[in-house]
């Protein structure tokens, strides 16, 4: 597709290069609403890559803007029939999320409940991400691959050589500057500020399933700060309501916020070690220098507190460090930020930055009233508070996305110190259970968008599929470009070392000629290509906290299956049969007759 190059930076940047080369043409490669990558070509001259950023679309500024967009797109239904947040809304949303129609496909519509039993005037939004179409609408793209293309284009940028190429990169650098969060003095989340006389029970928080331990906040953006680097993290962890001012904080052991909690524990243990010791544990060196026994080093104190608390998951017997960790929770944010809270970002990359990248516009942040954190200025509801380092409480059970109840366990307790919110706040929530449900579509978006980042570490990776029925951490199907013996096993181990992919219970590795999204083809090729004893390997390591079948909580076995074609250099010496395929001449002959044959056979 040929496109004339027109852009707001025309006077001084990439277009200047094209217009100076009169015989050049600009070829769009590939298309995107937000980002175009152009290749300028002229006979006899090496191709040059030009990066161009057109004026971005207007991002969904906040949840209300997003709800209006859903309504305009015919993707929202306002429910005026009374519905109870205890179980009833879940049953309605579950039926809708599993419905199928010729107009909307699988997933039904987003639902805005406007007559919530026991909460007059409140509104509850659910199933906002519950279809492929709504996920694309949330990120303002026609295809999720567009976001992946933008990521890939950034990764493809080479260091500029010479002054002219540096000048040409200025538009891209300027655009990147728009991704970073922006501090503002106030925002609509502070239209109502409650330091006293507040209650979590004022909000229409759902009890999702009959055997849940109570009501749970299920779509929160939980904000913490790394005590070492100061970087913020936004994660999504369910929160069981204990009473008007306390909740559970279910950050699973391997999540970033849990590591922040452990770092606070380590720092508190070190601070305890650095306090002046009692006389019997020290010896004098010179006049005023006190030396502790070597066994009581600062590092040893950190090792000790991790071992005695099992990584912060149990309360240590005897002496234990105390202290607090600030936490803030945003409920009802714009869709890009809500989605960013679930992405497997590296710990050093703030989710606020990822949301800015997805929105093509910075996330505006305001300071909290009672804790040292910043929160989205336009969120519907903000909860401020802290967790104590020496307090854990039983949390759960909870009907989870595995289709089973996750078992009760001990987790930190979140103490609310202040609530701020918009006037007449809209409560955004979700439910999880047997797929397909809303979280499945969010997970598929992560799969598509972050494939380029996986390829950075695993360059032989061609494609990946996380089937909904595998609830994402139970099954991953990957195709690879095989180049050497044993490569499939190398890929398995690489995946198990990639952040949250470490939880993958079963990995199937196939050759690049297999479509990983065609489960019928995968099943045929895998079951035909493997010798179980030879091609299946097991390993031990961390498993998902929700895995009820593992031998121990958070620790168990994983399985990898090498279903690639086996080579002689891998010890396979038998002939490998050809796959059954019709010859092209016969196929073409039948193609020429197929219209008449289909009519005669009654085939549409």
449 contacts 147 by C-beta, under 8 angstroms: yes
| C-alpha dist (Å) from residue 498 to 128, 286, 457, 585 | 29, 51, 9, 47
| C-alpha dist (Å) from residue 246 to 216, 286, 333, 383, 392 | 12, 52, 22, 11, 12
Q: Read off the tokens for 222.
A: 């939980």
0.75 cut: is pTM over it?
A: yes
CA 182 to CA 188: how far, in whole Å?
15
pLDDT above 80 for 354: yes
CA 376 to CA 374: how far, in whole Å?
7
Q: For tokens 């509850």, what's the residue?
A: 124
323: closest CA among 269, 243, 394, 382? Answer: 269
Q: What is the pLDDT of residue 94?
A: 96
Can you give the length of the chain in residues? 604
Tell me the range of 275-284, 321-330, 449-458 where mean pLDDT is highest. Answer: 321-330
- Residue 193 bridge partners (DSSP): 420
The confidence band for 149, taking pLDDT boundaries of 50, 70 and 90, is confident
Show the 3-state SS of 172-214. Answer: HHHHHHCCCCEECCCCHHHCEEECCCCCHHHCCCCECCCCCCC
Give, for 451, the enclosing helix (H) or strand (E): helix 451-457
Average pLDDT over residues 74-91: 98
Q: For tokens 């936004």, what's the residue?
A: 234
Q: What is the pLDDT of residue 320?
A: 79
Q: What is the pLDDT of residue 20?
A: 32
Q: Read off the tokens for 201.
A: 């029970």
Q: Which residues contact 185 (CB under 8 A, 6 or more apart)?
A: 366
pLDDT above 70 for 60: yes
**Domain positions in the chain:** 14-55+144-177, 63-138, 182-270+316-428, 458-570
- 202 tagged catalytic: no
What's the mean per-residue pLDDT of the chain? 85
Q: What is the pLDDT of residue 596?
A: 94
Q: 182-270+316-428: which CATH number, 3.40.630.30, 3.90.110.10, 2.30.110.10, 2.60.40.10?
A: 2.30.110.10
168 contacts 160 by C-beta, under 8 angstroms: yes
Average pLDDT over residues 547-555: 90
Q: For tokens 């199928």, what's the residue?
A: 100
b/e sequence 390-420, b meaning 16+ C-beta within 10 Å: eebeebbbbbbbbebbbeebebbbbbbbbbb
CA 566 to CA 572: how far, in whole Å?
6
Q: What is the pLDDT of residue 162?
A: 61
362 contacts 180 by C-beta, under 8 angstroms: yes
Q: What is the pLDDT of residue 179?
A: 86
Average pLDDT over residues 536-547: 92
Q: What is the pLDDT of residues 489-531, one digit of tens each?
A: 999 999 999 888 999 999 999 999 999 999 999 999 999 999 9
The confidence band for 273, taking pLDDT boundaries of 50, 70 and 90, is low
Average pLDDT over residues 86-101: 95
Q: What is the pLDDT of residue 347?
A: 76
pLDDT above 60 for 182: yes
193 contacts 367 by C-beta, under 8 angstroms: no
Average pLDDT over residues 216-225: 98
Q: Read off the tokens for 571.
A: 């010890």
Average pLDDT over residues 98-104: 85
Q: Which 3 state secondary structure label does DSSP give 479?
A: strand
pLDDT above 60 for 421: yes
**DSSP letters along 98-137, please?**
T-EETTTEET--EEEE-SBTT-TT-EEEE-TT-SHHHHHH
Q: Read off the tokens for 556.
A: 């168990």
Average pLDDT over residues 84-113: 93
Tell me the range of 176-180, 269-273, 317-321, 472-476 where mean pLDDT is highest. Answer: 472-476
**322 vs 328, more confident:** 328
Active-site position among 378, 400, 544, 562: 400
435 contacts 471 by C-beta, under 8 angstroms: yes
Q: What is the pLDDT of residue 29?
A: 32
The confidence band for 419, taking pLDDT boundaries of 50, 70 and 90, is very high
Q: For tokens 């909690």, what's the residue?
A: 261
**449 vs 155, more confident:** 449
Q: Which 3 state secondary structure label does DSSP give 240?
A: strand
Q: What is the pLDDT of residue 534?
A: 95
CA 79 to CA 82: how far, in whole Å?
8
Q: What is the pLDDT of residue 233?
A: 95
pLDDT above 70 for 386: yes
Q: What is the pLDDT of residue 546?
A: 87
**289 vs 399, more confident:** 399
Chain centroid, CA 336 distance in Å: 11
Q: What is the pLDDT of residues 306-320, one digit of tens each?
A: 999 999 999 988 777
Q: Which residues contact 604 (CB under 8 A, 6 or more apart)?
A: 598
562 burial type by CB count under 10 A (0-12 exposed, 13-18 middle, 19+ buried): buried
CA 69 to CA 137: how far, in whole Å?
8
Written out in words, the top-level CATH class of the domain with range 458-570 is alpha beta
pLDDT above 70 for 45: no
Which of 43-47, 428-432, 509-513 shows the lowest per-residue confidence on average (mean pLDDT)?
43-47
Q: What is the pLDDT of residue 510?
A: 97
541 contacts 496 by C-beta, under 8 angstroms: yes
Q: What is the pLDDT of residue 377?
A: 97
Q: What is the pLDDT of residues 559-586, one digit of tens each?
A: 999 999 999 999 999 999 999 999 999 9
pLDDT above 80 for 473: yes
186 burial type by CB count under 10 A (0-12 exposed, 13-18 middle, 19+ buried): exposed
Q: What is the pLDDT of residue 450?
A: 86
Q: Which 3 state secondary structure label does DSSP give 63?
A: helix
The confidence band for 254, taking pLDDT boundaries of 50, 70 and 90, is confident
The confidence band for 79, taking pLDDT boundaries of 50, 70 and 90, is very high
pLDDT above 60 for 16: no
């Amino acid at each position: 597709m040929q496109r004339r190059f027109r852009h707001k930076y025309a006077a001084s940047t990439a277009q200047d290069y094209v217009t100076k080369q009169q015989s050049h043409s600009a070829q769009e490669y590939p298309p995107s609403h937000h980002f175009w990558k152009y290749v300028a070509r002229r006979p006899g001259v090496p191709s040059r890559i030009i990066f161009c950023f057109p004026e971005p679309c207007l991002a969904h500024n906040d949840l209300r803007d997003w709800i209006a967009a859903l309504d305009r797109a015919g993707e929202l239904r306002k429910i005026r029939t009374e519905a109870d947040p205890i179980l009833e809304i879940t049953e309605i949303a579950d039926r809708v999320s599993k419905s199928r129609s010729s107009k909307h496909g699988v997933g039904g519509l987003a639902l805005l409940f406007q007559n919530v039993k026991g909460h007059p005037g409140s509104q509850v939004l659910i199933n906002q991400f519950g279809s492929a179409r709504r996920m694309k609408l949330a990120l303002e793209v026609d295809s999720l691959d567009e976001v992946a293309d933008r990521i890939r284009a950034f990764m493809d940028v080479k260091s500029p050589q010479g002054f002219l190429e540096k000048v040409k990169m200025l538009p891209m650098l300027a655009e990147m500057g728009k991704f970073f969060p922006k501090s503002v003095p106030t925002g609509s989340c502070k239209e109502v500020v409650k330091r006293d006389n507040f209650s979590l029970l004022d909000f229409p928080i759902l009890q999702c399933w009959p055997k849940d331990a109570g009501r749970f906040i299920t779509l929160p953006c939980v904000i913490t700060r790394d005590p070492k680097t100061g970087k913020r993290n936004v994660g999504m962890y369910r929160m069981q309501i204990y009473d008007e001012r306390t909740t559970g904080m279910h950050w699973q052991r391997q999540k970033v916020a849990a590591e922040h909690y452990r770092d606070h524990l380590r720092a508190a243990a070190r601070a305890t070690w650095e306090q002046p010791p009692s006389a019997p544990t020290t010896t004098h060196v010179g006049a005023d220098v006190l030396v502790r026994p070597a066994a009581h080093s600062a590092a040893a104190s950190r090792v000790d507190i991790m071992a005695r608390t099992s990584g912060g998951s149990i309360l240590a017997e005897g002496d234990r460090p105390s202290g607090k960790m600030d936490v803030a929770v945003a409920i009802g944010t714009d869709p890009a930020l809500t989605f960013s809270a679930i992405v497997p970002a590296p710990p050093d990359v703030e989710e606020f930055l990822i949301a800015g990248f997805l929105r093509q516009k910075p996330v505006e942040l305001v300071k909290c009233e009672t804790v040292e954190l910043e929160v989205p200025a336009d969120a519907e509801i903000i909860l401020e508070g802290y967790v104590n380092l020496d307090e854990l409480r039983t949390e759960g059970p909870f009907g989870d996305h595995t289709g089973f109840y996750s078992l009760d366990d001990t987790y930190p307790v979140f103490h609310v110190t202040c609530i701020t919110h918009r006037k007449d706040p809209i409560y955004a929530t979700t439910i999880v259970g047997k797929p397909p449900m809303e979280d499945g579509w969010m997970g598929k978006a992560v799969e598509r968008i972050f494939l380029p980042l996986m390829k950075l570490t695993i360059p032989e990776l061609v494609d990946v599929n996380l089937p909904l029925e595998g609830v994402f951490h139970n099954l991953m199907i990957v195709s690879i470009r095989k180049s050497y013996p044993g490569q499939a096993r190398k890929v398995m181990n690489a995946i198990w070392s990639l952040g949250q992919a470490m939880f993958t219970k079963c990995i199937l590795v196939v050759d690049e000629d297999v479509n990983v999204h065609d489960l019928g083809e995968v099943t045929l090729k895998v079951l035909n290509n493997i010798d179980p004893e030879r091609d299946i390997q097991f390993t031990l390591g961390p498993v998902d906290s929700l895995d009820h079948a593992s031998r121990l909580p958070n620790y168990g076995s994983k399985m990898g299956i090498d279903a690639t074609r086996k080579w002689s250099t891998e010890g396979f010496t038998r002939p490998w049969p050809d796959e059954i395929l019709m010859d092209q001449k016969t196929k073409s002959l039948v193609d020429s007759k197929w219209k008449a044959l289909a009519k005669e056979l009654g085939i549409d």
